[in-house]
Amino acid sequence: MALTKAILLVAALLPVADSQSGRPGGPGGSTICTDPPCAASLLGDVALTTVGGTGQDGRTFLSNENVYGPFEAGFGQQQDSMLSSMCDNPNVPTSDLYVQGGIDVYTVEQMIAKKCDKELPRIVNGQYYGILDQCGGHTNDYHFHESMSCLYSGAATGHSPSLAEVLAEDSTGSKQKLYGKWEDYNPAASTYVLPALDACNGHFGVTPDSSGASVYHYHTTDLPPFTVGCYGPAKSADNQPILVSPTTCRGLYTASDGCGGGDTIRVTTPTGSRNYDPWCPCWSGLSNVEGGESPSLPPTPPVFSPAPSSPTAATHTITMNSGWTWISSPFFEGNANSVFGTMSGLAVAQTDMIKNQLAFTNYIPGFGWFGQLENVKPYECYKVRLSVPGTMSFQGTLPNLVGVSITLNAGWTWLGWPALTAAPVSAFDSALSTPSLLNSQNDRMKSQFVFTSYIPGYGWFGDLTQFEPGLGYMVKLENANELVSFGATSRRKLEQDRTQEMSAKTPEVIGSGQWRISPSSFEYSMCVVAVVVVDGAVADDGDLAAFVNGQLHGVARPSSYKAPVGSYQGYKSYNLMAYGQLDTEGATVTFQYRHSDGRVSTLKPTMAFNKDTFLGSIQEPYVITHTTAAATATPAPTPAASTAPEVSTAPEASTAPFTAYVEASEPPADEKETVLNMGAVAAIAIGALVLVLLVVALCVRRATRSSESDKQTSTAEVVVPQKVDIDVASVSAA
C-alpha cells in the first residue's frame, strides 16, 4: 500500500497549465512534421508509445501513452500541498518553491531540492518523492517526460528496442521511432554503449527493425531533452539528410521567449548556479545557452529496495591485464603503498610498475612500492604494468567530490573517473568551470581502447561515449580549463543495469577474425580518424588495420555515426587506435582494408607512428585510398603467428618484455600480385630470347651450308635466309 501511495503523490503533482495544447515559443498539440527539420511541441505530444510495460510498483502501462518534451508549464499555488510534501522543511515557505514555466523537469526538481536542502528524488519509509515517477512520467492524465524505463529491459544484448512513434515522418512517409537509451552492447568489456546524438536527440544508424538499413531515429537519454528536442534530420546544401546542429535547432524556436529570446535566467541547484534559456529544447552537450553554462547531470530515480546501512561504502573490483592497464578508482586516495599494497597478490615482480603523468613507482617483492609516485588521487589516471593478470579489489567510502577542482592542462591531462557508476562523456562538459573554452576540433579524449573528438556546435563524436568505473583516460585540450565536482553527481546512480556493477572489466583482445590485437601489450597509442576510399568511392563495410614491420598494431570497425560536418559529411569514418612502444616511435605505419567479402586491399599513403598524437578529424579526416588500376585486391592470406616487439625500457625505469597477442597478415595481397606479374613478364622475355637464339642459329647453319655449296659448284643458286617475325604474345600464349 505504501508503494501505491508513493506513486499517487507524484500523480497528483499537476503542473500549471500542463494540459495546454500550445504555448509561446513553440508549437503545441500533435502536428505531424512531414518535412524536417521541424520544431517539436514544447508542452504537447512529441510521440506516442507503441509498447506497454509494468512499473516497479506493479502499475501497468498500455501502448499509446503520451510522450512529452522536457519542459513543465510551471509550479505555483495550485501545487502547494505536493510541493510542501516534497520539501519537508518547515523553514521554507511553499511560495519560495514556485517555479516559472519552460524549465526541464529535472532542473525544476533540483531547484526545489536546493531550496529545501533535500535530495530529490528520494524514498523515505517506502514513500517515493519526486516530480516524476520511476518510469519517467507523472500526473493523473499520465504522460512520459524521461526514461520510459518500465517499457523495456535494460539488459538487452544490443540496440534498445523501439518504444514509441515520433510525430514526424521520414522520406518514405513512415513514422520515425524513439528507442531506449542504448546503442549497442560491448561483450568484451561487459558494458553498454550510449549513442552519439544530435541536438534533436537523434542520429543515423541501424536499428533492430530497420532490416540492416541506416535510418534516422531517436533515443531516450538521462539528460535533456530526454526524448525529442526537435524533429530531424536536417538537410545539407545538396539536400542530403544530415544531423541537426544546436544552431539549426535553435533556429526552429525563434519566438521572443524561445531560444536566444533574451529571457535567459539564473538557476541554482545543489551543484551550483548557471544560466538557463527557458523554452529552448536545444542542448549542446549539457547547455541550452549559446556559449553559456551547463546544467548538472540528472540522477536515475531511486528504486524501491532497502537502503544499505552505509550507501557510500563499497568494494571496487578492477580486472588487470598481463601488460598495461589504464585504471582509476574513487578509492585511490592517500599513500601509494597503503592504497595498492600487493594489488590483491598480483604485484609479484620488480618489473611491475605504476605511473601517473609525472612520476612512477616499481614493486620490490617483500618491500612494496618504491619510486617517486608517493600519493594517489581518485581523479587521476594510472597506467599499471603487471606480469600476471587477475583482479584486484579496493574497499572504502566514496569521497565527497562536490567543490573539488581539477586542473586541466593545455595539452594532455591524465584523468580518472572518480565514481562507481558510468556517465556519458558529456559529464566532462558539465563540470568545466569555463565551458566556452571547449571550442576546438582538436579537443580530444581517449581511453586505452577508444577515443572521441569534440566538434564545436555538436559535442563529442567517437567510439568513446561514456566514462566507466575503474578505467583511466587521457584528455587533450587546446585551452587550459578546470573541472569542478567532476563525478560527484554520479554518486546518485547515473546509469542502470550492468553499468552499475562496481567491477571494471577491460577487453583482453580487440578486433575479429585474423586481425586481433591485445592493447595491454603496448604502452603507447596514437589516434587516427580516417576515411577509406576504394576506386573513388567511400568504403565503410569492412575493417581497417594498421601494421608496423608486418605486425598488426591496430584494427577498427566503421563508426556508428555519420559525420555531421566536414568534407566527408554524411559518411562514416574509422576511429583507429594504432598501438606501439618506445621503439615504435617514428616507424612507418601501413594500412590494409578487409572488405566484407574477405578481400584485402593495401591502402596509401603511409604515416609515421608518433605516440599520443591525433591524425585527422571529423571535419578533415585522414584519407587513405586504394585504386584497383594500380593493383587488384585479392582474398586475405592466412597470417602466420607472430608477436609484437618487446616492451621497451622507459627512460625512467627498467622493464620486462611482454608478448603481444596479435595475428598479422602476410605481405600485402597487392604486393604479392605485383611480384607474380613481374615473374610472368620475365618468363615471357626469357622465352622470346630463346626463340630468337634458335632462329639465329638456324640461319647461321643454312648460311654455312650455302657457302660449302658455292665451293662445290659456281653455277649453284644462292639461297637467301628467310626473315622470321616473332610474335611474342602468341609465343607466351602458346
Contact criterion met (CB below 8 Å) for 26 and 255 = yes
Q: What's the confidence (pLDDT) of residue 701? A: 52
Which DSSP category does 474 fall into? E
What is the average pLDDT score of the chain? 77
Of the listed ranges 152-161, 182-191, 638-647, the least confidently predicted one is 638-647
Taking residues 641-645, report their average pLDDT: 34
pLDDT, position 245? 85
In the predicted model, is pLDDT for residue 372 greater than 70?
Answer: yes
**What integer pLDDT is reported at residue 698 of this predicted model?**
56
DSSP H or E stretch at residue 674? helix 669-712
In 3D, which of 207, 199, 204, 158 has the Cα closest to residue 179? 207
Residue 461's pLDDT band, with cuts at 50, 70 and 90, is confident
Bigger pLDDT: 608 vs 194: 608
- What pLDDT score was predicted for residue 195? 84
Residue 566 region by backbone torsions, left for phi larger than 0, else alpha for psi between -120 and 50, else beta: left
Q: What is the pLDDT of residue 190?
A: 62
Q: How far apart are CA 668 and CA 675, in angstroms?
A: 11
* Distance in angstroms (rounded) separating the CA atoms of residues 410 and 479: 5
Is pLDDT of 633 > 70?
no
Q: Decide: helix, strand or coil at residue 445.
A: strand
pLDDT recorded at residue 153: 80
The confidence score (pLDDT) of residue 154 equals 67
* Residue 626, pLDDT score: 92
Query: In this model, does residue 679 exceed pLDDT 60?
Result: no
Instruction: List the 411-416 sheet strands across, edge first.
Output: 411-416, 472-477, 444-446, 451-455, 459-462
pLDDT computed for residue 388 by the predictor:
92
Which pLDDT score is estimated for 672? 40
pLDDT of residue 165: 95
Most confident of 292-296, 438-442, 665-669: 438-442
pLDDT band for 652, please (50, 70, 90 cuts): very low
pLDDT at 645 over 80: no
Which uninterrupted H or E stretch holds 104?
strand 103-104
Residue range 61-116, pLDDT digits in tens: 888 999 999 998 888 888 888 888 889 899 999 999 999 999 999 899 989 999 99
Specify burial of residue 615 (Cβ count, 10 A radius: 0-12, 13-18, 19+): middle
Q: Given this model, what pLDDT does residue 121 score?
A: 87
- The residue ranking higher by pLDDT, 378 or 495, is 378
The band of 606, judged by pLDDT with boundaries at 50, 70 and 90, is very high
The pLDDT tens digits of the residues spanning 180-208 come to 988 887 666 566 778 888 889 999 988 99
Across residues 664-690, what is the average pLDDT? Answer: 47
- pLDDT value of residue 693: 61
Per-residue pLDDT tens over the stretch 107-141? 999 899 999 998 888 888 878 888 888 888 887 78
Q: Where are the alpha helices (DSSP H) in 12-162?
A: 80-87, 105-116
| pLDDT top residue among 455 and 20 | 455
Q: Output the CA torsion sign for 188, 189, 190, 195.
A: negative
The pLDDT assigned to 706 comes to 44
pLDDT of residue 667: 42
* C-alpha cell recorded at residue 465: 561515449
**What is the pLDDT confidence band of residue 144, given thresholds at 50, 70 and 90?**
very high
Out of 238-247, 300-309, 367-376, pick the least confident. Answer: 300-309
pLDDT value of position 318: 92
Which amino acid is it at 699? C
Average pLDDT over residues 257-283: 85
> What pLDDT, on the 0 to 100 scale, is given for residue 59?
79
> pTM above the 0.85 mark?
no
Tell me the C-alpha distance between 686 and 690, whole Å.
6
Contact 167, 231 (CB under 8 A): yes
- The C-alpha torsion from 704 through 705 and 709 to 710, rounded to 10°, is -20
pLDDT at 686: 58
d(CA 420, CA 639): 41
Predicted local distance difference test score (pLDDT) of residue 547: 95
Pairing of strands 524-534, 614-615: parallel
pLDDT of amino acid 565:
80
Residue 622: pLDDT over 70: yes
Please say whether the beta carbons of 649 and 564 come within 8 A: no
pLDDT of residue 704: 47
The pLDDT value given to residue 697: 57
Position 20 pLDDT exceeds 50 = no
Read off the pLDDT of residues 693-725 as tens digits, 9 standing for 90 and up: 655 555 545 544 444 444 343 333 333 333 333
